[in-house]
């Protein structure tokens, strides 16, 4: 059997899920398990549920998530594998400026509180938050529709202002939290999303901090839920099994 990225695994199927995935490699392993759970009927796989969830993500924000012309499995194996910021996927601390900015220890470096450095940090953290909602949304869709379903991807966002991108993200996170609550209730698990302050009263940095905490809650819950439900899968071997 092969993983979602095409790499072979052992001849047996031990637990491959991660309670709180900290890398995109661990996310793809969770997607593989989610696909098996979906196909085994462990999660409710009523087609209407998947359609409603997909529509909710697509309609959550203008210029947000859209259906990609490839499966979740293919998208995860291509787009995420080559993602430049994948190493920071689970980071909870502010990121350093992009490489074209001077490092803090470099002579003549801009002060960390300068407008240019703060702007670079915001842009990098926005890109990370957008990657994360892609991961969360596709994890939910893998549970509801399997990894053979069309992936959800972010649209091009270069022309949008920071505030618009943040609002779109917050709305998309709202949709994700709603469906995690629904799926959790079906499994007998309770999802408790992070409750932040109103976005109308905080700065861009505070809004990004809130998105970090919301992601952390969702990422952990998805991983734990998949690992918990994995125990309901029948024992299998990997002989003559095709790539997810």
Rg of the chain on CA atoms, in Å: 19
Query: What tens-digit pLDDT sequence spans the chain (244 residues)?
Result: 444 444 443 333 445 678 888 888 888 888 999 999 999 988 876 777 788 888 888 887 666 788 889 999 998 888 776 655 555 566 554 443 444 444 444 444 445 555 555 566 898 899 889 989 999 999 999 999 999 999 999 887 767 899 989 999 999 999 999 999 999 998 889 999 998 766 566 899 999 999 999 999 999 999 999 999 988 887 764 333 333 3
Would you state the pLDDT for residue 107? 46
- For position 186, what pLDDT does the model report? 86
What does the alpha-carbon distance between residue 61 and residue 156 come to, in Å, rounded to a whole number?
A: 13
Burial group, residue 12, by CB count within 10 angstroms (0-12, 13-18, 19+) = exposed
What's the CA gap between 193 and 214, in Å, rounded?
A: 6
Tokens of 136: 């969360």
Element spanning 40, H or E: none
Report pLDDT for 49: 78
Q: Give CA torsion, residues 96, 99, 104, 109, to 10 deg.
A: -130
Report how far residue 61's alpha carbon sits from residue 84's, in angstroms, rounded to the nearest whole number: 25
What is the pTM (predicted TM-score) of this model?
Answer: 0.77
Q: Specify which residues 237 forms β-bridges with.
A: 12
Q: What token pair was written down for 104?
A: 């803090």
CA angle 152, 185, 222 (to 5 degrees): 45
Query: What is the domain partition of the chain in residue ranges?
Result: 24-100+111-230
Query: CA-CA distance, 211 to 218, in Å (whole number)?
Result: 10
Closest to 187 in 3D by CA, of 137, 219, 228, 146:
228
Question: In this structure, what are the phi and psi dihedrals at residue 3, rounded to the nearest 5 degrees?
Answer: -75, 180
CA geometry: angle at 75 spanning 243 and 237, to 5°? 20
């Amino acid at each position: 059997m092969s993983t979602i990225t095409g790499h072979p695994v052992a001849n047996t199927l031990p637990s491959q899920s991660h309670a709180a995935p900290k890398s995109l490699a661990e996310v793809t392993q969770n997607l593989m398990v989610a696909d098996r759970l979906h196909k085994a009927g462990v999660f409710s796989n009523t087609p209407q549920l998947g359609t409603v969830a997909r529509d909710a993500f697509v309609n959550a924000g203008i210029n947000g998530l859209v259906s990609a012309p490839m499966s979740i499995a293919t998208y995860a194996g291509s787009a995420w594998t080559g993602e430049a910021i994948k190493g920071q996927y689970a980071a909870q601390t502010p990121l350093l400026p992009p490489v074209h900015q001077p490092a803090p220890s470099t002579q003549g470096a801009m002060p960390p509180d300068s407008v240019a450095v703060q702007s670079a940090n915001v842009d990098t953290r926005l890109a990370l938050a957008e990657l994360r909602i892609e991961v969360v949304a596709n994890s939910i869709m893998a549970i509801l529709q399997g990894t053979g379903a069309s992936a959800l991807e972010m649209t091009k966002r270069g022309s949008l202002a920071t505030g618009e991108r943040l609002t779109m993200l917050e709305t998309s996170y709202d949709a994700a939290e709603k469906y995690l609550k629904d799926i959790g209730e079906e499994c007998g698990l309770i999802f408790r999303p992070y409750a932040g302050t109103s976005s109308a009263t905080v700065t861009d940095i505070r809004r990004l901090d809130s998105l970090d905490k919301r992601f952390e809650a969702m990422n952990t819950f998805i991983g734990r839920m998949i690992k918990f439900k994995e125990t309901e899968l029948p024992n299998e071997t990997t002989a003559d099994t095709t790539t997810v």
